[in-house]
Amino acid sequence: GQNLPRFRINEIRKHGANSENPWIMHGDKVYDITEWVPAHPGGRVILQAAGGSIDPYWDIFTIHKNQYVYDILEQYLIGFVDQADLVDGKPAHDQIEDPFEHDPERDPSLITHTAKPRNAEPPGEALGARFLTPNELFYVRNHMWVPNIRDHESDNHRLTIELVDGTVKVYTLEELREKFPKRKITAALQCSGNRRSHMSEASGRKANGLPWSAGAISNASWEGVYLADVLADAGFDLTEARNGLSEAQHVQFMGLEAYGASIPLRKAVDPFGDVLLAYSMNGKPLPRDHGFPLRAIVPGYVAARSVKWLNHITLSEEESASQWQRKDYKCFGPNQTRVDWDDAPAIQEMPVQSAITGLRLGKWIGSKIDSHALGNDVAGKQSRDDSLGREIYLSGYAFSGGGRSIIRVDVSLDDGLSWDQAILLPDCVSNNGEPSPCQGHGTWAWKRWQYAGLIPAAIFKEKLYNESALVKASSNEHHQNKAWTGQRCTNVLVKAVDDAYNTQPESHAATWNIRGNLATAWHRMQVCTAG
Ligand code: MTE
Ligand code: MO
């Protein structure tokens, strides 16, 4: 190996993704990967690292950190990095490209869980404030970097469709727009990890994954073309498929950065399924974080299937082989901490969910003491004992998968002893001659709800509730104020019911699972008051 040449990093940089002979560095070694690219299981994504070091990518795709991969790579060794460009035997830190260098700017009001890759949720109040979440506040869930497609390149973005018999058809985005009818749907996307932090805190058992609060869900209007229309044009027999006679059983989606997932064929060909290849979000081009220039929208399904930066669709007898299909997004029993991933099906349709995104306390109402008559000293000491109760205003969202609508939202102000119903906002009703903002064959959008009530004075208890049974919503001012300790508290709760009469489980402990998926237990928040 010592006879091999040494290359300056300037030279290596010339062998980028667009060169005829792409090179990569791994440690201080240089490889010519020209012949590896077509054989690489992840496809051309490896070119992302061309002209630079593969190491930061392997920190993301950790499956590569094994001897088998190093052995393959060894065949392509062509030399070493010049000593002049090495620090401690490796290319200097500033010489290694940051895979996230080209990620877009983000709205500072989002609550960031990880910056690289970007994972962030809107604060609760902002989330509930509008029926259609503004694009810049829509939660972001990226497993990797954001592919860098320039505006002027987007018309030429190519989508490849591959049928089971190997037939391939390629469409540019421009062709998709021109050839197929425009379709619009209003749909919420919800990550399987939404409310994971509630599950960890309430059960006292940490679940693996990003600690989302209640904001890994957002709602938007999407425009694009029907997947089914495109499949038919590509030569796929929809009638046969709708009669259950296709060889294909799954539709696999791939994104430009190598993320992949699949849905059952049944959903893709369902005339009421509304699976979209979307290029527009709330009337604007898709933002880069949300899949520019093209993404799948699989309404009513876990958002992990709505693949962003979509460039490849394969019809197959098999599910996608990706870890996001075969692992990660599955649930097991609370006791199952060592799991065989093949034992559980991938999460697809979402269960019923609801959460509180706004909580505000109002006045004490109905004083039995005429404080003016008694003078200021007493008025200042007016407490809950003199009152009927304290006003409370709650608001939030409810959502169910599979196109099922929300029929009722139940609220309790006394930790589940008694219940009342919230008002469901008429967001999907036509208004003043304006058409309804909701489109689609199923109820794909979320439902917002509001509740105004009075917490009876007697309900505020002397002591705090068991801490581990509480959920502290980071979005809520009352909950960030640790000074309450010693004050009087109650738990307020919300749960929703969908049109199949599915409802949410009472406790997170009962549905705890190792990956913290589908944390849908009653959303319980502690409310405290002075006095
Ligand atoms: N598609 C690609 N290509 N890469 C990704 O990392 N994340 C998935 C899905 N599609 C992902 C993807 C997951 S887990 C979720 S929850 C949604 O995108 C998030 O979509 P959003 O960022 O537009 O909210
Ligand atoms: Mo997700």
Tell me the residue type at 480: Q
- Please give the pLDDT value at position 70: 87
Q: Is 283 strand, coil or helix?
A: coil
- Hey, whose CA ends up nearest to atom 11 of ligand 1? 142
Please give the structure tokens belonging to residue 511.
Answer: 């549905």
- Please give the pLDDT value at position 63: 75
In angstroms, what is the span from residue 485 Cα to ligand 1's centroid?
Answer: 39
Q: What is the mean pLDDT of residues 352-364?
A: 94
Buried b (16+ CB within 10 A) or exposed e, 420-444: eebebeebbeeeeeeeebbbbebbb
Confidence of residue 462 (pLDDT cuts 50, 70, 90): low
404 labelled catalytic: no
> Out of 6, 40, 106, 478, which one is annotated catalytic?
40
- Please give the pLDDT value at position 2: 66
Query: Residue holding tokens 């589940």?
Result: 416
| pLDDT at residue 481 is higher than 60 | no
Q: Are 13 and 53 in contact (CB under 8 A)?
A: no
Q: Which atom of ligand 1 is nearest to the CA of 257?
A: 3
- Hey, whose CA ends up nearest to atom 16 of ligand 1? 191
pLDDT per residue over 12-36, tens digit each?
999 998 899 999 999 999 999 999 8
pLDDT per residue over 231-261, tens digit each?
999 999 999 999 999 999 999 999 999 899 9
pLDDT per residue over 53-82, tens digit each?
998 888 877 778 888 888 889 999 999 999
pLDDT per residue over 304-335, tens digit each?
999 999 999 999 999 999 999 999 999 999 99
Q: Which atom of ligand 1 is nearest to the CA of 255?
A: 3
Burial bucket for residue 354 (CB in 10 Å: 0-12, 13-18, 19+): buried
Q: Which residues line ligand 1 (CB under 6 A)?
A: 138-143, 189, 191, 255, 257, 259, 289-290, 303-304, 306-309
| pLDDT at residue 474 is higher than 50 | no
In angstroms, what is the span from residue 253 Cα to ligand 1's centroid?
Answer: 12
* Complex-level ipTM beyond the 0.85 threshold: yes
Q: N- to C-terminal Cα distance for the chain?
A: 79
- Please give the pLDDT value at position 530: 65
Q: Are 256 and 246 in contact (CB under 8 A)?
A: no
- Of residues 95 and 266, more confidence is placed in 266
- Please give the pLDDT value at position 485: 47
| pLDDT at residue 470 is higher than 70 | no
Q: Which of 346-350, 456-460, 475-479 has the highest mean pLDDT?
A: 346-350
Longest Cα pair distance anywhere in the chain, in angstroms? 100
Q: Are 169 and 161 in contact (CB under 8 A)?
A: yes
Please give the distance of CA 221 from its chain centroid, rounded to a whole number. Answer: 16
In angstroms, what is the span from residue 194 Cα to ligand 2's centroid?
Answer: 8
- Kindly report the pTM of this predicted structure: 0.88
* DSSP run (H or E) holding 296: strand 295-297
141 labelled catalytic: yes
In angstroms, what is the span from residue 308 Cα to ligand 1's centroid?
Answer: 6
**Could you give the residue ranges of the DSSP H alpha helices within 43-195?**
55-60, 67-74, 124-129, 173-179
Extract the runs of DSSP E, i.e. beta strands, from 106-244: 111-114, 119-121, 140-141, 158-162, 168-172, 183-190, 217-226
Cβ-Cβ contacts under 8 Å for 439 (sequence gap 6 or more):
184, 185, 186, 221
pLDDT per residue over 85-143, tens digit each?
998 888 877 677 788 999 999 999 999 999 999 999 999 899 999 999 999 999 999 99
171 labelled catalytic: no
331 labelled catalytic: no
Q: Is 200 strand, coil or helix?
A: helix
| pLDDT at residue 364 is higher than 90 | no
Q: What is the 3-state secondary structure (H, E, C) of 446-494?
A: CEEEEEEEEEEHHHCECCCCCHHHCCCCCCCHHHHCHHHCCCEEEEEEE
> Out of 15, 64, 250, 479, which one is annotated catalytic?
64
